[in-house]
Each structure stands twice: as C-alpha cells, then as structure tokens.
Structure 1
C-alpha cells in the first residue's frame, strides 16, 4: 500500500491553503514548505521516522520549512539516525545557507547536531536506491531554476511527483507508465510560465491509461472548479491522506 499524506497543497501565493509538502509512507518527505513542520504534528506524524527529504527545487514555498524541521530535530526530537536530504545542484550549500539565515546564532549548532547526508542529484533519468526502494529523477521546466520530478518505484506501484513545471519532455517521461501521478495545477484559466494550468491537465488526462491515477496539488484557488473531465481526479486537501 502507498500512503500519501499532504502536509500542504498550496502554491506560493495561495488563498487559504498551506504550502507544499507530501509525506510518502511516513518515511519520505517530498519538499518542506513553511507550514510543513507544524502540519506534520497536526497529522500526528512521528518526524523521527522520516528517512529522506527529496527537494524538487529551491523556491521558498517548497523549502522554508527545513530550518524549523532541523531545529526540532536538533533540540526537541534530538534525532540520532541519519537524515538524507536530496535535491538538484548545490543542495548542501542551499540547505546550510537556509539554516544559517534562519538561525544566525545557533544555525551552525543545528547543522552539527543533526546527522545529515546530502546527495546532489542529476536530472537526466538516473535511478537511485533509497531505503529499500528506488527512485528516478526527471528534468522539469520551471523558469531558470533547476527543478526535478521524481518517480518512486515500489514493488508493485510507482508514484510520480512533478514538482513545479510547465509542459515539457521531462514531464512526459515522468508520466509514462507511472501508476499514481501527483501533478501541480497552479492556475485554472490563467497561464503562468513554469506551471501547469487546468487546460494542461486536461491534455495530460487524454494520454493516460485507465489504471493511472492523478492527484492535483500546488493549487492557488481554494475552490477549484469541477469539470466533467476531472471526475476521476483527486484534488488534494491540506492534512488529508490518500492510500492506494
């Protein structure tokens, strides 16, 4: 069984939704938006169980929860097992600068107290082992910033996460043969560069097989218009869990 726990489902500028973060099987965190640490606790998650954090890209709505999460690990949870943080180029430098900016006086102490392992990931369809499963990376198109999509490969299931992207070949490759797709849909009608809108999702749905499932996240409007083409689509909500 695959369990997806949505600690946040909103875009950077969102009308009432919390910022993006998805916990997979209580152990793998996809992004860590500003509201992630408190929302994981609202969902009664044991953050000590998180083995790895996969960052799609380095925008604040996807990463600004990291300093608070690491602070908790350092002074409250007192984490002892290694935490892997993986992401695009310069992941270690980015996370360290984030923590030192958030906590100029004790940031270095936090980084020393929490046993961290950093992995810089290439974007070109490489496959990596991760805590008894494999995952694959795909290059997404999100303006001038490097952005990765991820496909997690379990024994009988695959789960894909688009991160932030517009339509591109990397997204097409990620979607192919992936059973559960977590896709962003930042806007409904308006087209914003580097993001998907409702029309993009409609086109994607036409290409899918009946056994592929779609969950939409990174939503700007609080209420998303329901249209017939989306009858089989799940619109994620903050603090909700979905099992497959």
Structure 2
C-alpha cells in the first residue's frame, strides 16, 4: 500500500493544514480514509484526480472527516463526468447523515439522476468486512459524533494500515494497531486534549500497548504543532499534508 496524506489537520485547519483525508493505493484500488470538508481542495492541490477513488472509508461523521462528500459526488456528476462506481463505507447512520448534508448543501441533490453508481455501506463497530482484496476491521472508540466513532484497520494481504479516527485513549486501539505496518493516530494537544481527543502525553504513556511498526501522529491542534519539536522521533512520526509513505 502507498499512503498520501492529503489532509492531516484538525477541524480548524490549524497550521494551515487541510481536514482529515488519507489516500491509499493498493493494487488497482484507490480509496480515501475520511473525506473532510477541505478534502476536494487538498486533492486538487496534490494533483490527485478524485474520480480515481473507488471507496471512501469513514471513521466517524463529523464535518472535518466526512464534510467533503457532497462536493466529491457533485464534482463527479458535473465536472469530471465520472463513470467509476464509488462505495462510501461508514458506521451506522452514515446514509441518513449524508442525505441530510447533501440536502443542506445542494437542495434536491439526493433526487438527482446520477451518471455513475454510488452506494453507502454501513458497517457495525467491531466487525470485519471484505471489499474485494481489502479487509476492513473496525472498533468503537471514545468520541461523541452523533453516531458511532470508529478506529479502522485495513489490510490488503501484504500490508496493514490502521487509523484511530478521533478518540480519547481507549484500550480498543490496541487490537487495531497490533502488528500494523503503520498506525495513524490523532494527537490533538501536547498535555491536555479536549474531551474525546488524544494528548501526546497520554499517547506516550500508552505507547507500549500500540504494537505497530510505525505510528504517525495527526490531527494536531495549535498547541501540539507549537511543541512538535518535543516529540520523541524514535517513537513517533509527524504527519504533514503531502507526505507520501509506503506501508
């Protein structure tokens, strides 16, 4: 797998970083982990054609993680003349929330005659689901989002990529990260994170429970960015928009 960080920012685009969106290439499949409100701009800046996406896998339903989906869909309809099918994978409640978001942004969008096939596949937290050669495992985490918030573990048989989504510390992250080649983990603040988020102090304390080969810190707020030079580089990598990693 190859990972391109299209956006690794928090909800406020701290440090000028785009909302969460990771592009993953595996064989012939191209997918995005989360698709925040600024994701369409982030992809355009990197020269990534959104019409190549086969899937979008959502960790949870906050705007900085799924708010760009109506633009992705309507761009495929009108600008890119998309023909490639698109599958949107998310926790229970995804279709209802997406329908409401589309109607709020573009009234009547839901009744459109689409030029390409797209569907929403809702997966229960704690489940494992196959999508062709890809296997997705999810776990519920500690983040209030009006629907279950989940961590994701994605494997293509050769590599494993894990993603915390947004969460305070929870032991549920252990199995998600265990043995992963790369674990993308949110780290909103250095000492004291807002409710439902992770601090660097908490993450460093629990580092031994996260048996991933590499851990990439993401979703960093202004406080965390200001102190990123204090991060132990032997234990953690730091995400940046445009970063490309082989998994």
- TM-score norm. by structure 1 comes to 0.91
Q: Is the 8 A contact 2:3 2:23 kept in 1?
A: yes
Q: Does 1:22 align with 2:25?
A: no
CA distance in 2, matches of 1:14, 1:82: 30
Aligned twin of 2:124: 122
Give 1:147's match in structure 2, choosing from 146, 149, 152: 149
CA distance in 2, matches of 1:242, 1:56: 20
Q: Does 1:9 align with 2:8?
A: yes
- TM-score norm. by structure 2 comes to 0.90
C-alpha displacement of 1:81:
2.3
Aligned twin of 1:182: 184
- Secondary structure of 1:169's partner? coil
CA distance in 2, matches of 1:73, 1:228: 40
Aligned twin of 1:162: 164
Q: Is the 8 A contact 1:127 1:136 kept in 2?
A: yes
Q: Is the 8 A contact 1:9 1:237 kept in 2?
A: yes
CA distance in 2, matches of 1:154, 1:107: 33
Deviations 1:73-97 (A, max 9, x none): 0101122222100111121111121
Q: How does 1:54-65 map to 2 (within 5 A)?
A: 54-65=57-68
Q: How does 1:1-244 map to 2 (within 5 A)?
A: 2-15=1-14, 16-25=16-25, 27-109=30-112, 112-124=114-126, 126-143=127-144, 145=146, 146-209=148-211, 212-221=213-222, 222-227=225-230, 229-244=232-247
C-alpha displacement of 1:106:
4.3
Q: Is the 8 A contact 1:17 1:238 kept in 2?
A: yes
Q: Quickly say closer, same or farther: Cα 1:161–1:228, change in 2 above 3 A.
A: closer
Q: Is the 8 A contact 2:61 2:145 kept in 1?
A: no
Q: Is the 8 A contact 1:51 1:131 kept in 2?
A: no
- Secondary structure of 1:37's partner? helix
Q: Is the 8 A contact 2:6 2:242 kept in 1?
A: yes
CA RMSD across the alignment: 1.9
CA distance in 2, matches of 1:170, 1:207: 10
Q: Is the 8 A contact 1:79 1:115 kept in 2?
A: no
C-alpha displacement of 1:166:
0.9
Q: Quickly say closer, same or farther: Cα 1:79–1:181, change in 2 above 3 A.
A: same
Consecutive unaligned residues in structure 2, runs of 5 or more? none
Q: Quickly say closer, same or farther: Cα 1:123–1:14, change in 2 above 3 A.
A: same
- Secondary structure of 2:232's partner? helix
Deviations 1:136-159 (A, max 9, x none): 111111036411111111222111
Q: Is the 8 A contact 2:52 2:84 kept in 1?
A: no
Consecutive unaligned residues in structure 1, runs of 5 or more? none
